[in-house]
Structure 1
Amino acid sequence: MSSPLNWHPAKRPQPATLTGRFVRLEKLDPKRDTEDLWEVFQGPRADNKLWDYLAYGPFSEREDFDHWLDTNAASSDPLFYSVIDLANGQTQGILSLMSIVPDQGRIEIGHIAFGAAMQRTPKGSEAVYLLGKLAFALGNRRLEWKCNNDNARSKRAALRFGFTFEGVFRKHMVIKDRNRDTAWFSITDDEWPAIAAGFERWLAEDNQRPEGQVRTLQACR
């Protein structure tokens, strides 16, 4: 039998502003964010593959999109954050803390939807880092990442961010009338300090190339 942990339940996340070098996370606010998000998600420069593995979207009607944002903003689990580009003030994506179980100290980053302007930039990495940092500051023991097992982009991102692959839940869900086998990943509290240090090294100003891009993220493991 293992020894007692002397552990106390985690705190439940509350809406807060989290600021990094490239982005600021704020609670999703449809009045503030709807125009920007409609443009980045459904505009001419939108990433058409964004919705392939999400349970919702794409949205052909603005009314449906606005209802989706309103529903997300009213939720506390998932608790949705907007990702705001510090350089130009545009809201360029959303993500959430979800599956929140304070009594067991586990929480998940999910419902990730980053516009094309965030992809292949440090902004998405920093958004995940800021929520991971918050998750463990609240006292959680485990941070989860789950995605459709067919979603190669999400699985690559999870590994890149330092999550450990744990396995596949077969026939876990039916999404858009299709089977979803779900890949599970996690970071534990004892792993987080080294992973956080890797994020911080990568996001640091001295990791910038002359043209303003950052080097490949290699230090999160």
Structure 2
Amino acid sequence: MPRFNQYQQPIGDALPDWQPVSQPPRVTVSGRYCRLEPLAIYHAEDLLAAYAQAADERDWTYLMSARPKDIAGCRTWIDQKVSDPSLVPVAIVDNRTEKAVGIACYMRIDTSNGVLELGHLTWSPLMQRTVLGTEALWLMLKTTFELGYRRCEWKCDSLNAPSRKAAERLGFRWEGTFRQMMARHNRNRDTDWLSIIDGEWSAIDRAIRQWLAPENFTADGQQIQRLEDLHRAV
């Protein structure tokens, strides 16, 4: 039912118990296939080797930075994220190899309103289109909503179809396109905005948990049910 104030103007739902939330903590969060560790300089060697698995730099086309060329450049790139007070960066470590294979950040963190964004997603070929990559993002989402955030955002270049597809596969909903939002690498960037809100998380969480379950994979690691189908079923 719509709510109205004393002037008979429609107003938003009441939040009588709302309190600001805390920033995501810089702690290790473990899953079955991977763990999220606070990003640190010592991850540089692993990450440089992981990104070098790619034959070219097409995975970096829509990112702000270029692929690090050497260990010094990788350490500088990591230090820029670690020292940025607006970011909470994590290294994604493969539990099987004990090697860091990618990074991600909590960013645009607004504790007063309970909103943050998952960004700076820099997957290496060692985690692209793997169960590990899905679990890493699920761990980040799980942390977000367990801390009491009301909204988690995902933004990408509107021409970056794989990024938007990855977000929608997880359960993010497209909200619109901000035209000419950025001028990056001497070119225009329109930005797609997607989100998950707290009222949607329970069903999304159930679907992702079902997809991640060992019984959803064959002996050779092939999925039995697609995540997209599990979202529709819950």
Which TM class, normalised by the smaller chain length?
A: over 0.9
**Which one has a bigger Cα radius of gyration?**
2
Whether 2:115 is the aligned partner of 1:106: answer: yes
Cα distance per residue 1:169-199 (max 9 Å; x no partner):
0000011111110000000000000001111
Whether 2:23 is the aligned partner of 1:12: answer: yes
- Where in structure 2 are the equivalents of 1:1-221 lying within 5 Å? 1-6=11-16, 7-31=18-42, 33-41=43-51, 43-45=52-54, 48-215=57-224, 216-218=226-228, 219-220=230-231
Deviation at 1:72, TM superposition (A): 1.1
> Does structure 2 retain, via aligned residues, the 8 Å contact 1:22–1:122?
yes
Which stretch has the larger CA shift, 159-168 or 206-215? 206-215
> Does structure 1 retain, via aligned residues, the 8 Å contact 2:53–2:126?
no
In the alignment, the residues of structure 2 paired with residue 184 and residue 106 of structure 1 have an alpha-carbon distance, to the nearest angstrom, of 13
In the alignment, the residues of structure 1 paired with residue 184 and residue 222 of structure 2 have an alpha-carbon distance, to the nearest angstrom, of 36
Amino acid at match of 1:39: A
Which stretch has the larger CA shift, 205-214 or 161-170? 205-214
In the alignment, the residues of structure 2 paired with residue 148 and residue 3 of structure 1 have an alpha-carbon distance, to the nearest angstrom, of 32
In the alignment, the residues of structure 1 paired with residue 135 and residue 222 of structure 2 have an alpha-carbon distance, to the nearest angstrom, of 14
> Does structure 1 retain, via aligned residues, the 8 Å contact 2:68–2:77?
no
Q: From the superposition, tell whether residues 190 and 8 of structure 1 become closer, same or farther in structure 2 (CA, over 3 Å).
A: same
Classify the secondary structure of the residue corresponding to 1:100: strand
Which stretch has the larger CA shift, 194-203 or 63-72? 63-72
> Does structure 2 retain, via aligned residues, the 8 Å contact 1:98–1:107?
yes
Deviation at 1:44, TM superposition (A): 4.4
- What is the CA RMSD across the aligned residues, in angstroms? 1.4
Amino acid at match of 2:104: L
Classify the secondary structure of the residue corresponding to 2:211: helix
Classify the secondary structure of the residue corresponding to 1:55: coil
> Does structure 1 retain, via aligned residues, the 8 Å contact 2:127–2:133?
yes
> Does structure 2 retain, via aligned residues, the 8 Å contact 1:121–1:213?
no
Which stretch has the larger CA shift, 206-215 or 134-143? 206-215
Q: From the superposition, tell whether residues 62 and 176 of structure 1 become closer, same or farther in structure 2 (CA, over 3 Å).
A: farther
Q: Which runs of 5+ in 1 are unaligned?
A: none
RCO comparison, higher one (Cα < 8 Å, 6+): 1
Cα distance per residue 1:29-52 (max 9 Å; x no partner):
112x111101111x2445632110
> Does structure 1 retain, via aligned residues, the 8 Å contact 2:47–2:102?
yes
Cα distance per residue 1:71-130 (max 9 Å; x no partner):
112234221100000011010000010000010110110000111010111111111100
Classify the secondary structure of the residue corresponding to 2:105: strand
Q: From the superposition, tell whether residues 188 and 209 of structure 1 become closer, same or farther in structure 2 (CA, over 3 Å).
A: same
Aligned-pair identity (%): 37
> Does structure 2 retain, via aligned residues, the 8 Å contact 1:46–1:116?
no
Classify the secondary structure of the residue corresponding to 2:208: helix
Cα distance per residue 1:145-185 (max 9 Å; x no partner):
00000101101001101000000000000111111100000
Q: TM-score, normalised by structure 2?
A: 0.89
Deviation at 1:55, TM superposition (A): 0.7
Q: Which runs of 5+ in 2 are unaligned?
A: 1-10
Amino acid at match of 1:146: K
